[in-house]
Amino acid sequence: MDLEKIAKEVANFYKMPVTDIKKHNRRLEYVLPRNLFCLLAYRQGNTYKSIAEYLGRDHSSIMHSVRTAQDDPRTEKQISKILGLSPDHFSCTTTFNTRMFLNYEIK
């Protein structure tokens, strides 16, 4: 999945330009979309390194973003809104650490 396409979908959902997702800013209005972008990109098969290069960050920052987004109970609801699907369209599997991961694809 193309990182630019994922960034556009997240930016459209939050009604912000894609450049705001790439900003080096810790304000909540930028952090939440960026964390969601990192999680979506990672779940689409992109590596931490490729996501980090796209955002101009270190891979460990991306790992933290992904973990933070996974632990946020609002994340799956936001993803379903971005994709325009109801939660019933997702198939869930449990991983070794009991976190729920959803299988989906942005078309």
pLDDT one-digit tens code per residue, 31-88:
999 999 999 999 999 999 999 999 999 999 999 999 999 998 888 888 888 877 655 5
Beta bridge mates, 64? none
Instruction: Give the per-residue pLDDT at 91.
Output: 44
pTM of the model: 0.77
Instruction: Give the per-residue pLDDT at 61.
Output: 96
Does residue 105 surpass a pLDDT of 80? no
Instruction: Give the per-residue pLDDT at 84.
Output: 79
Instruction: Give the per-residue pLDDT at 74.
Output: 86
Instruction: Give the per-residue pLDDT at 15.
Output: 95
Instruction: Give the per-residue pLDDT at 46.
Output: 96
Rounded Cα distance, 65 and 20, in Å: 16
Provide the H-helix boundaries in the chain.
Answer: 3-14, 18-22, 28-43, 48-55, 59-71, 75-83
